[in-house]
Amino acid sequence: MFKLPLKKIKFLNLHSLFRTPGPGFEQLVQQLADNDPNRYGTPPAAKDVVKNLPTVTVDEDTELGVEPVCGLPGEFEKGSHVTQMPCKHVYHGDCLIPWLRLHNSCPVCRYELPTNDADYENRTQGNAGDGSRSNKIK
């Protein structure tokens, strides 16, 4: 159970906050939004990178490298087209492309594709220490 110290409760002055929402309420909402851990999620993958991901037609000789990981039941059928990430995970294009419009990473292993978001690139390169990330293609 989450426990909030009495000092914090006093500081927030909760009883007046809920009685008449005003500047205190707006301040609380802003503070919660500023501290949202999901605020800095991964940005979309770069469109040109997504466009150039290889599409493979599944046949008897196709070696996919890994089991299919789409949310659709069963394996890929012969003749179906799959999109392959650099990490070798494969997906139906209809499953992967919408994901990559929101995230620049593989849904399974989080292998990162390049993005056009300069702020994100600067943040992640700064966190790597030496400016490189081993799970990202150039």
What is the per-residue pLDDT across 111-127, written as a single tens digit (0 to 9) for each?
999 999 888 878 777 65
Domain membership flag for residue 122: yes
Amino acid at 43: P
Q: Determine the structural domain holding residue 34 and report its residue range.
A: 10-39
My answer on whether 16 and 79 are in the same domain is: no
> pTM for the whole thing?
0.58
Structural domains counted in the chain: 2
SS3 52: coil
For range 63-75, the mean pLDDT? 57
Domain membership flag for residue 15: yes
Burial of 106 (C-beta count, 10 Å sphere; 0-12/13-18/19+): buried
Q: What is the DSSP letter of 111?
A: P
Q: What is the DSSP letter of 6?
A: H
